[in-house]
Structure 1
């Protein structure tokens, strides 16, 4: 009996499992190749900046240009994949600096640590960040899938939920929180663009910039709290009942 005959006579569920396994291996292969191509794109963008072409990326990756189009559709698709990779790195950083510590560390330590991680990532890939900003893939898109800032906003909204809970514990109006999130995101992205375009050349190092972003963030948070008659104690964790307290009103 031939090999073909034996396979063809196998029960349908066995054949289906074989096909599923092949499909899974192919999907995993595509994911791995796609990740390698994105990494190559990041390397060449860091070298050439906004002038990078699909030919440059294909040469860096050691593949044909048609292969890039097969995996990403067009250059916009590849740019979007680069933005998604940077966004994923920011989300992974947040897993360590925010989500893992928000019930134990002081809110001030948590915010400053997350800002420092953000600045470190931007400082590591300033040319890529500038490239994404030029292609409108760093700012908040409003659709949830258009820019790196969508990931930043997701992180911020997770933190904002804790501020909302704190305001609700003292029976304060929590509707101010979305405005505070938009203000922090807008000012932070504007400051980031200035820093990578001019600030670093003018001697504003990552520590100074991170400190500025942290203080600006707290300025907006405290301003939002004061608007609804609440003061926050940044040296306490979110879970502490004294983190938010009502202001004495004259």
Structure 2
């Protein structure tokens, strides 16, 4: 399946800058940096507009929040889908900035699981409308040919597969179970997150704690079947780590005025 960056690259190939590296033309390079910075500013404005207007936010809402006209906004974003994808990338950055340190923390298993879950739930709690926008794959009245949530799920599940596989091999267990186990955990956490955002029948701390205990119970049960007893509050001998990031697409040229 094509990832989000591929779709963005295809959609604006005819209007893309020649590359991210300096061109040697000082004026052109300054202007390129200005466009990149200006586009990033509009994305942050769009995040704030989402808080006010919800996932039905339109381009006119973003323009108004930024204090510019829609034509100015369209100099930096090809269309609604382009802004949607930029919001998706920003959401991924926010999530991974919190999730990666939590997953790779040199902690005992139980607090490590708890920290990773809290990182995810803190992001969707702070940006619920962004998550809703990306999950429904539409911007205003226009469907978007991208599934940022599914792509992030795949990235996280792949990284978690590697992490679990490393630990299972370290414990002389069959690591073949790592992939379905990782996808099962990611799916459970996402589904629980969507339910929690909709219902809010308990605090974030409570839902994180319940999920922590469920995930640990599965780990503890599986290891005990192999005669291995782990202390949930004692760090393991080796701290396995993962890398988790998207490869940023080339800068897309969307105009020369602000």
Band of TM-score, shorter chain: 0.7 to 0.9
**C-alpha spacing 1:56/1:105, structure 2 compared with 1 (3 Å):** same
TM-score by length of 1: 0.73
Of the candidates 208, 214, 217, which is equivalent to residue 215 of structure 2?
A: 217
Equivalences, count: 212
5 Å-filtered alignment, 1:38-57, equals 38-57=43-62
Q: In structure 2, what is the Cα distance between the partners aligned to 1:125 and 1:113?
A: 18
- Give a deviation string over 1:56-98, Cα, whole Å, max 9, x none: 1111112222233332221122112112111101111124323
State the shift of 1:239 in Å: 3.3
SS at 2:210's partner residue? Answer: helix
Q: In structure 1, what is the Cα distance between the partners aligned to 2:227 and 2:35?
A: 54
Regions of 4+ moved over 6 Å: 226-229
Q: In structure 2, what is the Cα distance between the partners aligned to 1:223 and 1:147?
A: 33
1:131 is matched with 133
State the shift of 1:217 in Å: 2.8
Q: Kindly indicate which of the two structures has a greater share of residues assigned to helix.
A: 1
Task: Please list every run of 5 or more consecutive structure 2 residues that lacks an aligned counterpart in the other structure.
Answer: 1-21, 140-145, 240-258
1:30 is matched with 35
Q: Higher mean Cα deviation, 166-175 or 184-193?
A: 166-175
- Whether the 8 Å CA contact 1:183–1:220 is kept in 2: the answer is no
- Specify which structure has the bigger relative contact order, considering alpha-carbon pairs within 8 angstroms and separated by 6 or more residues: 2
Q: Does 1:115 align with 2:117?
A: yes
Q: In structure 2, what is the Cα distance between the partners aligned to 1:224 and 1:27?
A: 53
Q: Does 1:187 align with 2:192?
A: no
Task: Please list every run of 5 or more consecutive structure 1 residues that lacks an aligned counterpart in the other structure.
Answer: 1-15, 138-144, 242-250
Q: Higher mean Cα deviation, 188-197 or 128-137?
A: 128-137
TM-score by length of 2: 0.71
Q: Does 1:234 align with 2:232?
A: yes
Q: In structure 2, what is the Cα distance between the partners aligned to 1:94 and 1:236?
A: 21
Q: Higher mean Cα deviation, 223-232 or 49-58?
A: 223-232
- Whether the 8 Å CA contact 2:54–2:129 is kept in 1: the answer is yes
Rg larger for? 1
Q: In structure 2, what is the Cα distance between the partners aligned to 1:31 and 1:237?
A: 43
Q: In structure 1, what is the Cα distance between the partners aligned to 2:177 and 2:107?
A: 24
State the shift of 1:238 in Å: 4.0
Across the aligned residues of Structure 1 and Structure 2, the Cα RMSD in angstroms comes to 2.8
- Whether the 8 Å CA contact 1:180–1:221 is kept in 2: the answer is no
1:206 is matched with 204
1:170 is matched with 171
Of the candidates 74, 83, 91, which is equivalent to residue 69 of structure 1?
A: 74
**C-alpha spacing 1:168/1:73, structure 2 compared with 1 (3 Å):** same
State the shift of 1:229 in Å: 7.1
Q: In structure 1, what is the Cα distance between the partners aligned to 2:59 and 2:167?
A: 49
